Structure 1
Amino acid sequence: MKLTVVVDNLCCKSGLLAEWGYCAHLQSESGEILLDTGGPGHVLEHNLRCLNLSVSALKAIVLSHSHYDHVSGILDLVYRAKEAVVYAGDGIQTERRGDADAKRRNGGFDIRTLPKHCLVKDYETVLADVYAFTVPKNERNPHFVCCRNLWEVDGQGSIVPDGFEDDLSMAVLTENGWSLLLGCAHAGLPNILERAKTLFGIEEFDTIVGGTHLCSVSPEHYDEWLDKLSQYKVCRWRPNHCTSFKAASALAARFTDVDWAGCGTVLEL
């Protein structure tokens, strides 16, 4: 399988545009998948053209969560990618808020309004050897969930800390083994690794690529997080988006093969 990073905060190839957002394109023998659809800057279309990637062939669009920096391009795509089923975690329809005062509308998108959709409550097979999965709340260590200044509006209209019920990740199996594709890892990076290990019987991860949300971890807590992550065998770390340079540098200092996966990065999984 070939993974191409289409949208990220940084570019690794000339001619592309960067924004605070994320999108990755996965090409497999069974079809093509888009993970997330970029942010409100709408650089998605420009980068798709520069990378010679067509949306008409998409079999699926997977939304990792409802924040605008991951779903803003969905309406630009869904009616052109007529065969694509849109996958998202149940709860993506919940209104999200951002900032310390919780006044900024930050997400919430009801995929049930789309022609083809699938709400993922546990895990779903997207294509052969490609799975979308959630981390149940009772399997999340709250210590490794970062929710600072991220909120949701509950059923009574109250603003409460975001529970990230809709957070979705992808596991893919290739001849090189298992890889994980992340959006923002709001369920907690160690929690996601543990869930994937248990759900799919994974003993070693070939590649972990995507946003890790380590940007919300204070540097004084890096060692604790890295100690936890070192319990999992990972051949290649390819963080981006919401990871932060400081956290990526800490990953690179601890692990052997770490590199930023910006726009234009192509990985053979």
Structure 2
Amino acid sequence: MNLITLYDNYQSDPNLETGHGFSCLAKSKDQTILFDTGADSLTLLSNMEKLGINPQEIDIIVLSHIHSDHVDGLWGLLEKNKDVKVYLPASFPDSFREKIKSYGANYQDVKSSIQIKEGIYSTGELGTFIKEQALVVKTEKGLVVLTGCAHPGVVSMVRKAKEVGGDKIHLVMGGFHLGGTPDSEIEEIIKDLKQLGVDKVAPCHCSGDRARQLFQIRFGENYFENGVGKEINL
């Protein structure tokens, strides 16, 4: 499994453009999945081109939640590849589905946890006010959990991912939504994630600078400094 952050607030590769949002490519031998699409297709597609990634390689797009910094890159991508299938939370408005269809692409609503492909799952919609799904991928080392913003809480999303995937959690990667959160609460979240057996973390996007510092201290060599261009091979 190869993971590449294609769109993010933080920068790992100075040759790539940053932007407020998140997108990550998860590539295995059999499937190429794009999780979220960032806030604009120009930045997303530019970064993909610089990394040598052809949009037509993508088989599946999974959207975490409705916020523009995770979905607005979709439309330019569909212009390049309408043969993808888009998995979106069932709470998305009908107008979003109609727009996907207008590009000639297919979609599937996700409400409860589902298996997308063998070894690839969605947690289903979690949360109340902002409903969000996480992507769960089985690897030889355990489960990889990708979160967009973790509005329902990163701990609850990881707990659900572990239940759905039925294995230990090797890596949690993406937005943890902890900007401005008191240190004491962040420390409790770290403790809870460790109790859930999380091996490694790669927070980015909306995780917050202070949270990233504390995760780095507590996870040590099992912390990845994540940002656009970051590549993790499992």
SS in 2 for 1:181: strand
- Note the 1:170-181 alignment, pairs <5 A: 170-181=135-146
Tell me the distance in 1 between the aligned counterparts of 2:214 and 2:227: 18
Is 1:164 the counterpart of 2:130? The answer is yes
Tell me the distance in 2 between the aligned counterparts of 1:237 and 1:21: 18
Measured after TM superposition, the shift of residue 213 of structure 1 is 0.7
Q: How many residues align?
A: 229
Tell me the distance in 2 between the aligned counterparts of 1:185 and 1:230: 17
Instruction: Look up the match of 2:153.
Output: 188
Is there any run of 5+ residues in structure 1 with no aligned partner, and where?
95-108, 138-161
Instruction: Look up the match of 2:224.
Output: 259
Match of 2:172 among 208, 211, 232: 208
Determine if contact 2:41/2:73 at 8 Å carries over to the other structure: no
Instruction: Look up the match of 1:159.
Output: none
Is 1:114 the counterpart of 2:100? The answer is yes
Tell me the distance in 2 between the aligned counterparts of 1:17 and 1:136: 31
Tell me the distance in 2 between the aligned counterparts of 1:236 and 1:180: 10
Per-residue Cα deviation, 1:2-46 (whole angstroms, up to 9, x for no partner): 111101112211310101111111111222111111114841111
Q: TM-score, normalised by structure 2?
A: 0.90
SS in 2 for 1:49: helix
The one-letter amino acid of 2:70's match is H
SS in 1 for 2:55: coil
SS in 2 for 1:114: helix
Measured after TM superposition, the shift of residue 216 of structure 1 is 4.6
Name the structure with the higher strand share.
Answer: 1
Determine if contact 1:30/1:128 at 8 Å carries over to the other structure: no
Q: TM-score, normalised by structure 1?
A: 0.79
The verdict on how the C-alpha distance between 1:40 and 1:56 changes in structure 2, with shifts beyond 3 A counting, is: closer
Q: Percent sequence identity over matched residues?
A: 27
Measured after TM superposition, the shift of residue 88 of structure 1 is 0.9
Per-residue Cα deviation, 1:177-210 (whole angstroms, up to 9, x for no partner): 21111111112111011112222222x2111111
Tell me the distance in 2 between the aligned counterparts of 1:6 and 1:36: 10
- Note the 1:101-250 alignment, pairs <5 A: 110-115=96-101, 116-137=106-127, 163-165=129-131, 167-202=132-167, 204-250=168-214
SS in 2 for 1:171: strand
Give the stretch that moved more between structures: 242-251 or 109-118: 109-118
SS in 2 for 1:260: coil
Determine if contact 1:135/1:195 at 8 Å carries over to the other structure: no
Tell me the distance in 1 between the aligned counterparts of 2:200 and 2:207: 15
Point out the structure with max Rg over C-alpha: 1
The one-letter amino acid of 1:28's match is S
Determine if contact 2:176/2:207 at 8 Å carries over to the other structure: yes
Name the structure with the higher helix share.
Answer: 2
Instruction: Look up the match of 2:13.
Output: 13
Measured after TM superposition, the shift of residue 57 of structure 1 is 1.9
The one-letter amino acid of 2:86's match is V
The one-letter amino acid of 2:200's match is R
Tell me the distance in 2 between the aligned counterparts of 1:40 and 1:259: 25
Tell me the distance in 1 between the aligned counterparts of 2:125 and 2:90: 11
The verdict on how the C-alpha distance between 1:219 and 1:81 changes in structure 2, with shifts beyond 3 A counting, is: same
